[in-house]
Amino acid sequence: MVEELVSEVKPAVIRMIAWTVHKAFKNMFEKININMDMLEELREIEKNSELPIVLLPTHRSYFDFLIVSYIFFIYKLRLPNFVADEVLLQAELLPFLVKSSGAFFFQRLLYAKSGLYRVVFDKYLELLLREGNTLQFFIEGSRSRTGKILAPKSEVLNVVLDTLLFGKVADVYLIPLTINYEKVLESDTFPGELLGEEKVAESLVRVIKASFIMRFNYGRVYVEICKPMTVRPFIAAVQKRNPQLAGQ
């Protein structure tokens, strides 16, 4: 479980992926729009605080995690450890590439069924936070096929909050992000998936065959970094309104 879970960052692989992604994005997107003021605020937090940062992006495309990591790489921010979609575990070579970029896989069904897996996953997440890393996961859990934000999944967020409440870290910065596309790359498959068709299993061959998408223009991407918020004041405010929670 540990070997499958833990990411192993390899700078050479990250540089290779960054070069490839840079070339691809130049062909695919007219521009990636970012609110630079909030990006600089994030840089100041990294510079002046040892608290862990948790990024909470919306999820529209498999490219979401690439876009966030690409922005952080280009602007020389700390690359996030991110929770990757477990479907990538079915592909050849892809698990190695994404784990070398800081990813680790969350198997939701196994988390619900196996107490051992739950403990291993929770402790690894706690370790990342205690070491002051930047962590990223999609609060919706899976991609939205309709364009509407999905109801949040609480498993990973609960671990983050438990790490704070049990005194493993002093506080945590939560930073929501929205990622919007003028055209979502996978949008052609959404009608079939909404009608009940099974998702096609990911594989390296399928990724290579899909490389033709780089020849098309998908317009602009808009990344909005929201105001960072620490969790401790929120907890204090809740306990103030509900005195019976103060001792919990």
Burial of 135 (0-12, 13-18, 19+ CB in 10 A): buried
Highest mean pLDDT among 21-30, 41-50, 88-97, 144-153: 41-50
Q: What is the pLDDT of residues 199-242, one digit of tens each?
A: 555 444 444 455 556 667 888 999 999 999 999 888 888 777 77
pLDDT at site 205: 45
Predicted confidence band of residue 129 (pLDDT cuts 50, 70, 90): very high
Q: Which residues contact 29 (CB under 8 A, 6 or more apart)?
A: 217, 218, 219, 220, 221
Select the CATH number that applies to the domain covering 2-142+149-245 from these four: 3.30.930.10, 3.40.1130.10, 1.10.3720.10, 3.30.750.200: 3.40.1130.10
Q: Are 74 and 25 in contact (CB under 8 A)?
A: no
The percentage of residues in the chain with a pLDDT greater than 70, rounded to a whole number, is 81
pLDDT at site 244: 62
pLDDT at site 27: 85
Average pLDDT over residues 115-131: 93
CA angle (54 as vertex; 240, 60 as ends), nearest 5: 115
Average pLDDT over residues 15-23: 90
pLDDT at site 204: 45
How many Å apart are CA 70 and CA 79, to the nearest integer?
9
pLDDT at 243 over 90: no
Helix (DSSP H) and strand (DSSP E) numbers for the chain: 11, 8
Strand-pairing partners, residue 180, are 222
The model carries a pTM of: 0.84
How many Å apart are CA 214 and CA 207, to the nearest integer?
12
Predicted confidence band of residue 139 (pLDDT cuts 50, 70, 90): confident
pLDDT at 121 over 90: yes
70 phi, psi to nearest 5 deg: -60, -45
DSSP 3-state assignment of 214? helix
Average pLDDT over residues 108-126: 91
How many Å apart are CA 219 and CA 222, to the nearest integer?
10
How many Å apart are CA 187 and CA 60, to the nearest integer?
9
